[in-house]
Structure 1
Amino acid sequence: MIYKVYYQVSAIEVPIRENTKSMFIEGTSVRDVREKLKSKSFNVESVVEVSGAYLEYEKLNEDYKVLELG
């Protein structure tokens, strides 16, 4: 499954909505994705499963790229 992760680049700064970034990660569950991101130094705001029409819409974005994390 593909998940969209909303995050802030810095984990030590106060989150500001305008600075929220997103990325796509493949995983088996939200927990799996969070485990894969545990070692990263950013603040994960939320993880959302992307499928169906929503996934097709996201694929149209030129920035769409699924990251492969081990």
Structure 2
Amino acid sequence: MIFKVYYQKTINEVPVREATNSMYIEAESVEETRKKLADREYNIEFITPVTGDYLEYERQHEDFHVETV
């Protein structure tokens, strides 16, 4: 399954919508996604599964790529 992760680049950064980054991770669960990103010290705001029509929509964007972790 593919998850979309919304995050700030540093753990000390306060979440601000305009400064939020996102990435796509392939994992079995939200917990596994968090474990895969634990060493990066991101301030993870939200993780959501991307499936079906939503996944197809996201794949149409040129900046779509699944991170290898």
Identity %: 49
Tell me, in whole angstroms, the C-alpha distance in 1 between the residues paired with 2:64 and 2:52: 15
**Structure in which a larger fraction of residues adopt helix:** 2
> Shift of residue 23 of structure 1?
0.2
> Shift of residue 16 of structure 1?
1.2
Q: How does 1:1-70 map to 2 (within 5 A)?
A: 1-69=1-69
Tell me, in whole angstroms, the C-alpha distance in 1 between the residues paired with 2:36 and 2:44: 12
Deviation digits for residues 13-70 of structure 1 (CA, Å, limit 9, x no counterpart): 222111001000000000000000111121000110000000000000000000111x
Q: CA RMSD in A?
A: 0.7
Unaligned runs of 5+ in 1: none
> Shift of residue 7 of structure 1?
0.3
Runs of 4 or more off by more than 4 Å in structure 1?
none
The aligned amino acid for 2:27 is G
Tell me, in whole angstroms, the C-alpha distance in 2 between the residues paired with 1:50 and 1:13: 26
State TM-score, norm by structure 1. 0.93
